[in-house]
A and B are shown apart, each in its own frame.
Chain A
Amino acid sequence: EVQLVESGGGLVQPGGSLKLSCVASGFTFRDYWMNWVRQAPGKTMEWIGDIKPDGSNTNYAPSVKNRFTISRDNAKSILYLQMSNMRADYTATYYCVRGADNNYWFAYWGQGTLVTVSS
């Protein structure tokens, strides 16, 4: 069974930093594109970025480019999201998501971790 378990969410002040983790199990982690997708309260989803199976390439949404960094540890099956210089509108539930077929759609989602940016 595919499982994606996020952690690291919480309250952070504007301008602060936070690092999220996602532990994957039930599949061969190193074979898949991985993504982070966020959902602000009561809003739709926003794709934040992705990372190639071997970690050699990342892509980011314009809204978070130069603020967020996605990385992965294939030996430990862990996906990371480093967030810096955070803003209030980054308040959202952050989902770890496994891509499908060259990452054209999102096959499996974690349960999400809530990040609140507030002073």
Chain B
Amino acid sequence: DTVLTQSPALAVSPGERVTISCRASESVSTLMHWYQQKPGQQPTLLIYLASNLESGVPARFSGSGSGTDFTLTIDPVEADDTATYYCQQSWNDPWTFGGGTKLELK
């Protein structure tokens, strides 16, 4: 299976720019997607195909990358962005998720 590695946690101040990384164990082309999960809630889609913003998602969120290295950027970060962020690949079967990055605000 394709393993997706994310940093476990980040802490930033409101108004700052934050980048969340996801590294794949093998190339996934641009078939990488990002989700936000707030405590006690289901995940919601933020970014699909590495850099496409899902409808209704604030433009503060953006994605980039291809191959094995991907980034989710939030600029500027707001208090409501406290959540865990997951990457997911769909190039290699089975589809797999990263371990998640918990974003905390200072």
Chain A residues proximal to chain B, CB less than 8 Å:
44-47, 59, 61-62, 95, 100-101, 103-112
B45 touches A105 (CB 8 A): yes
Inter-chain contacts of A108 with B (CB < 8 A): 45
Choose from B33, B86, B93, B100 the contact partner of A59 (Cβ within 8 Å).
B93
Could you mark each residue 63-94 of chain B with 1 if its beta carbon is under 8 Å from any beta carbon of chain A, else 0? 00000000000000000000000101010011
Q: Specify the main secondary structure of chain A where it touches its partner.
A: strand
Is B86's CB under 8 angstroms from A44's CB?
Answer: yes
**Which A residues are in CB contact (< 8 Å) with B100?**
44
Determine which residue in A106, A110, A111 has the highest number of CB atoms from chain B within 10 A of its CB, and name it: A106
- B48 in complex: contacting residue of A95, A105, A111, A112, CB < 8 Å: A105
Query: What is the 8 Å Cβ interface bit string for chain B, positions 20-43, against chain A (1 contact, 0 not)?
Result: 000000000001010100000111
Given A95-B42, A100-B48, is A106 in contact with B88 using a C-beta cutoff of 8 Å? yes
Distance A38 CA – B90 CA, assembled complex (angstroms)? 17
**Whole-angstrom distance between the Cβ of A37 and the nearest chain B Cβ:** 8
Contacts of B48 in A (CB 8 A): 100-101, 104-105
Given A44-B86, A104-B31, A104-B90, A109:B44 Cβ within 8 A: yes
Question: How far is B98's CA from A103's CA once the two chains are assembled, in angstroms?
Answer: 18
- In the complex, chain B residues whose CB is within 8 Å of the CB of A45: 43, 86, 88, 97
CA distance A105 to B88 in the complex (A): 8
| CB < 8 Å neighbour of B94 from A47, A104, A110, A112 | A47
Q: How far is the CA of A100 from the CA of B35 in the complex (A)?
A: 14
27 residue pairs from A and B, CB less than 8 Å apart: A44-B98, A44-B99, A45-B43, A45-B88, A45-B97, A47-B94, A47-B95, A47-B96, A47-B97, A59-B93, A61-B94, A95-B42, A100-B48, A103-B90, A104-B31, A104-B48, A104-B49, A105-B33, A105-B88, A106-B33, A106-B45, A106-B88, A107-B45, A109-B42, A109-B44, A111-B42, A112-B42
